[in-house]
Amino acid sequence: MATEEGSDGGGVDRISRLPDDLLHVILIRLRDAAAAARTSVLSRRWRRVWAHLPELSFSYRYSAAAGGGWAHSLVDAALAAYAGTTVRLLEIALRWAPSAHGVCPLMQFASQRVAGELRLSLQEGWGDFVLPPCKRATAITLCVKARTLRFPPQPALGTFAALASLRIIRALVDGRELGDVLNSHCPRLKELFLKQVVVLGSRDLAPPVLSIRSYSLERLEMDMDVEFDAGFQVIAPKLKVFSSPKIFGEAHIVAPKLLEVCWHGPYDPDLHHVQEAGRHLQRLEIARNCWNSRHAAKLMHRFNAADELQLTVQLCQLNSDDLKELQMKAASSQVQFSTRAVSSLDQIEET
């Protein structure tokens, strides 16, 4: 790059004459905020450019940074030097970060500056991880392996006032804390994804409970186990898509607008109450871990009409009575499927 006019290089720095918005586009393409910050050594003009980027991305595969020092400390220092008022994307991937009492510096920054999407991944660690209020965040993805995700006391309704999508991955959560946040402080939440999440009991040793009550939620996907002694409840008048966890205890699901269901684990109509939902779905998927054909048959009886059916059966585990029952259910008038769906297990046997 040519230097500034009048510098010792004697050249003309044409890139530095570009407007900040265009320079931001160039630096964002690096997908590395640390590399963008290093451009400040090029000239005086560049010293302030990176500090106003609308998107910040930090990724360290190891706990120690290549140039020395802890990776999380370098991220904290970069965020402290950031001069912009808001960021539309903050993406941080760290191998490890120390457990903090209260809100850690990077989450304080996220709470104050993120007006868009927050993505955070911590591959190792222990202890609590506190998610503070993020009033302007519209999407949050948290992967905090083996950490307990905590929520500070919420000061007022609408703490996550703009949040539309929330993904929590590989974390431990207090079911009551999470339920309180979802029920009272996410008024615009439309999508909730819980993957490999372990629901803990409360600190008063009460059994774990996961209760989701949302009047805005439209999509709920849960790739997790809800143990025998846990309570599970979903009340979502606008819910359209539901991918169930493996539910071993009693469950109550109230979703009058339900259109798509993917069911994992056992299904027992005496324990698993899907209330107010119609019997006709646009799509029904019975996952391969639905335990056995009797559970699948009962679920197909609960939803006896579907435009599309995805049914996975491990035939080697079926005895003749179970197979006959599934064949009768699929072929009976109680279950109606479109031409895209499997209407008989004969098709499965032939493959």
Confidence of residue 101 (pLDDT cuts 50, 70, 90): low
pLDDT at 104 over 90: no
Q: Give the whole-number percent of the chain exceeding pLDDT 70.
A: 65
Question: How big, in percent rounded to 5, are the helix, strand and coil portions of the chain?
Answer: 25, 30, 45
- In this structure, what token pair is assigned to residue 51? 């500090």
Least confident of 65-74, 75-84, 105-114, 193-202: 65-74
Cα(219)–Cα(238) distance, integer angstroms: 9
Read off φ and ψ for residue 17, nearest 5 degrees. Answer: -80, -10
Q: How far is CA 96 from CA 4, 35, 92, 336, in A?
A: 41, 20, 11, 52
25-29, 171-175, 249-253, 256-260 — most confident range: 256-260
Distance from the Cα of residue 143 to its chain's centroid? 8
Task: Return the higher-pLDDT residue of 344 and 178.
Answer: 178
Nearest C-alpha neighbor of 150 from the set 124, 122, 180, 120: 180
pLDDT, mean over the chain: 77
Q: Which positions ≥6 away from 265 have C-beta within 8 Å?
A: 225, 244, 245, 246, 247, 248, 287, 289, 290, 291
